[in-house]
Structure 1
């Protein structure tokens, strides 16, 4: 019996949106600062993985003239992003209802991929990183915000699904990315920025 899965419907969706769009989130890390931590050009094409409410999509679309793809499994989140893009007079936002493990984009079509607090939700980190590696061109970037609350009294997602900065760097290395920057934020979060240095042969 699947038909009642939407019982928290609108209220649940609104709560999620309010949480994702809360002002403190911008104070912790401003979206523009996050995106501009990499060399960014007007001609770049950007992919926002697990885009949610467009926290990164909308600021990214203001920084480039090319397309910013917002990928999410939640069609309502994508509708919200489209509305925000419309309100901001942005015509370069395109939404993709898809999973991070199967990105519906061509190989080497993305200059910068972004993932804010979504990697730990993936069933397979390697699958996601392999897909990121496939769609990002050589010399392109992957920027990620994640939780690592080990050794702190901060609450994040369950410890067993958290991805430490070391683990992320190791796994990125396996798919051809080299870490260029890593810094810690408050609330047990960190940012890692990696550059794709080569193609990897996928078996």
Structure 2
């Protein structure tokens, strides 16, 4: 691997672009993919495969209200009417459209890396006559948000699929306002009885470890949902 060569040669002699690549190699490890994984390991966790836009119907399934209690989650966010919220991995806008009525002077930025998902959001936005939801096409390393522009970033069952979690979270931290919050909602990896594939669940310990690595401080965990953690973080030193 390149990182092994660098340890022998000394990073100070490498061009900046090569040193950046080396740092990325040091953050991630590669192995044979397990079932539902991509074989890329970050901080001891194999990254899960992404659910593509062909699974959009599953996001809008009627049973989701009963299984996940989305309104309980929305209430737990403690949104202010003026908040600017980034819904990262927005998919069909399931949560974007549920937050928008609570933000009459604010807005929701529905971010996704799949243009097909954003097309669905835009179609629903027109159908529902909603004006404070905006779509943003992100990349696997950057949500493409302005610096210091976001009050709250929400990721619902999305973070565990990020192809480049370190880079993505660093960009999200950069986009947060000084008192901004990051909220991750993940199926509880501690509970083997929750009928979700193992790589699509996360333990609270793992989430806190990965958020600490990018300069976020754990504020609280709310266990008000039937099957998922609600983990709340803020910038360190704020």
TM-score normalised to the size of structure 2?
0.69
Aligned pair count? 185
Match of 1:121 in 2: 161
| Structure 2 residues without counterparts, runs of 5 or longer | 1-51
Match of 2:177 in 1: 137
For the residues of structure 2 that align with 1:119 and 1:73, how far apart are their CA atoms?
13
Match of 1:147 among 187, 190, 194: 187
Greater Cα radius of gyration, structure 1 or 2: 2
Counterpart check, 1:56 vs 2:91: no
CA 124–73 in structure 1, closer or farther in 2 if over 3 Å, else same: closer
- Deviation larger for 106-115 or 16-25: 16-25
List structure 1 runs of 4+ shifted beyond 4 angstroms: none
What SS class does the counterpart of residue 23 from structure 1 fall into? coil
Deviation digits for residues 12-67 of structure 1 (CA, Å, limit 9, x no counterpart): 956x2221111332223343432332332111111011101111111122111323
Match of 2:210 among 154, 168, 171: 171
Match of 1:70 among 102, 106, 110: 110
Cα pair 2:189 2:198 within 8 Å, conserved:
no
RMSD of the TM alignment (CA)?
Answer: 2.3
TM-superposed CA distance for 1:165, in Å, is 1.1
What SS class does the counterpart of residue 83 from structure 2 fall into? coil
| Structure 1 residues without counterparts, runs of 5 or longer | 1-11
TM-score normalised to the size of structure 1?
0.79
CA 37–196 in structure 1, closer or farther in 2 if over 3 Å, else same: farther
